[in-house]
Amino acid sequence: MPTLLHIDASLWPEDVSTSRSVTATFRREWEAQHPGGTVIHRDLAAEPLPHLDARAYTAGAGDLLRDALATELEQADAIVAGAPMYNYTIPSTLKAWLDHIIILGRTAGELPSAAGTPTVVVASRGGGYGPGTPRESFEFVTTYLEKTLGDTLGLDVEFIIPELTMAPHVPAMADLIDMSHASRHKAHEDAAARAKILAAKAA
């Protein structure tokens, strides 16, 4: 039976967090097609990983935690990951996960062990950073994850981007509330649609 690796990193619970609610939509659709399948949930906010230290780095795949995390990655038929924007980049908890799982000679290098795994990243953000916007050059979430998840680990990465999530809470963004709601609605639709397609492929 297929395995989904579900990663969340938002510091907020699902009823507040946009990325968690969208990864949950993806997961629900996946589970509807694979009720007997396996879902591995890594909640990096609830159970943060330690920072990589010299011992674990030197041990590489010989380190128990790194081996376990790499095995989770390799077992996955698909991955859905929440990557909220914190200070223009990914949460440090997600960076800690990356530092553990990028293991040269196993998950990275000439033959990355999880290469080709379909990976949907929900890159939620409070503002707008799309092409042509004034803050475009401040965007280090998708640009960074394209390189690490895509180029380094060889995963087949795509992004779903609910943005302007702060509009309902910031008076100066009041004009953007409709766009914020539309972006969130589309993110849920896209997540459900991608989950259906990827679950069917994994059957």
Minimum distance, C-beta of residue 123 to ligand FMN, in the bound complex (Å): 9
Tell me the three state secondary structure of residue 190. helix
Q: Does 118 bind ligand FMN (CB under 6 A)?
A: no
Q: Does 119 bind ligand FMN (CB under 6 A)?
A: no
Q: Does 142 bind ligand FMN (CB under 6 A)?
A: no
Where residue 50 falls (left for φ over 0; alpha for ψ -120 to 50; beta otherwise) is beta
Indicate the residue among 107 and 124 with the shorter CB distance to ligand FMN.
124
Question: Considering CB under 6 A, how many residues would be counted as binding ligand FMN?
Answer: 18
Q: Does 12 bind ligand FMN (CB under 6 A)?
A: yes
Q: Does 127 bind ligand FMN (CB under 6 A)?
A: yes
Q: Does 125 bind ligand FMN (CB under 6 A)?
A: yes
153, burial (CB in 10 Å: exposed 0-12, middle 13-18, buried 19+): buried
Spatial contact of 107 and 153, defined as CB atoms under 8 Å apart: yes
Q: Which residues 64-103 are close enough to bind ligand FMN by CB under 6 A? A: 82, 84-88
Distance of CA 64 to the CA centre of its chain: 23
Q: Which residues 19-38 are close enough to bind ligand FMN by CB under 6 A? A: 19-20
Relative to beta strand 118-122, strand 38-43 is unpaired
Selected from 2, 7, 10, 188, the binder of ligand FMN by CB under 6 A is 10
Q: Which residues 162-191 are close enough to bind ligand FMN by CB under 6 A? A: 165-166
Q: Does 154 bind ligand FMN (CB under 6 A)?
A: no
Q: Which of 148, 149, 76, 154 is nearest to 115 (CA)?
A: 154
∠19-20-21 over CA atoms, to 5°?
Answer: 90
CA distance 202 to 200: 5
Judged by CB under 6 A, which stretch of 48-56, 58-66, 101-109, 119-127 contacts ligand FMN? 119-127
Tell me the three state secondary structure of residue 185. helix
Chain residues binding ligand FMN by CB under 6 A are 10, 12, 17-20, 82, 84-88, 124-127, 165-166
